[in-house]
A and B are shown apart, each in its own frame.
Chain A
Amino acid sequence: EVQLLESGGGLVQPGGSLRLSCAASGFTFSSYSMHWVRQAPGKGLEWVSVISPDGGLTYYADSVKGRFTISRDYSKKTLYLEMNSLRADDTAVYYCAKGQLGTVTTPWGQGTLVTVSS
C-alpha cells in the first residue's frame, strides 16, 4: 500500500525559507518519478515540481522556478522541497505524489500547510 507522509510546513515570514519532506513507503521509491502539488486555501490544485526516478531531471512550474528545489534521498526514501524567497502566494497545503507515465497518481498524504505571513 502506497503511503506518503509530508512534514515540515509551518509559519514563515515573506522572504524566508522552508524545507518540506515526504516519507514514502509501500512501493519501490527509486523506480518512480515524484511530484509536489499544492493547494492554496479555498483554491484549486497547482502542480509545483517533478523529479525523475534517478534524480537527474527536475522540472518546475514557472511560479516557483528559481526559488524552489526538489530533491530525493534514496536511502531514506524521502522526497524534499527546498523553498526559498517565499511569498504570500506560496501559502498552501503541499502534497507529494508518486508519478507514473504522464500521471500524478494517488493516494497522496494528508499534506503539510505552509503559511507565509508577517
Chain B
Amino acid sequence: QSALTQPPSASGSPGQSVTISCTGTSSDVGGYDYVSWYQQHPGKAPKLMIYDVSKRPSGVPDRFSGSKSGNTASLTVSGLQAEDEADYYCSSYAGSTYVFGTGTKVTVL
C-alpha cells in the first residue's frame, strides 16, 4: 500500500494547460479503471473532479480531463484559471483497498 507518486508541484499561466501525472503499479492504477482526482483548496475538504479515469461529476468544468496509460494516470487542466490554484490528489482502487497519491500543488502564475 505505497502512495501513488505525483510531482510535488506544477504551474502554468492563465489560459495555459497543466498536466499532472500519477504513477502506481499494476496492482492499483494499472490494474483497474478506477482512478479518481481530487482538488483541495487550503482549509477545505477535497472535491472530486474526475472518477473512473476520465469521467467528470456533474458541475465539474470540462476544462478538467483525465486519462491513463499503463500504470500512470494523468489529469489535465486546460485554460487555467486563478481558482484552479490548489492541491490535487489522485486515488486508485487497489483490489479491496484504496490508495491516494502524494499530492501536487498547482500554481497559477
Contacts and interface: CB of A to CB of B under 8 A. Distances in A.
A108 B45 contact: yes
Contacts of A63: 1
B51 A103 contact: yes
Contacts of A109: 45
Interface residues of A, number: 24
Nearest to A49: B97
Contacts of A46: 3, 100
12 contacts: A37-B100, A44-B89, A44-B103, A45-B40, A45-B91, A59-B96, A62-B1, A101-B52, A102-B33, A104-B36, A106-B38, A107-B47
A102 to B, nearest CB: 3
B9 to A, nearest CB: 13
Interface string A26-68: 0000000001010000001111001000000001111100000
B45 A103 contact: no
Pairs A-B, 9 closest by C-beta atoms: A102-B34, A102-B93, A44-B103, A106-B48, A47-B98, A45-B100, A108-B45, A103-B51, A59-B96
A102 B48 CA distance: 13
A13 interface: no
Contacts of B100: 37, 44-47
Nearest to B3: A44
B102 interface: yes
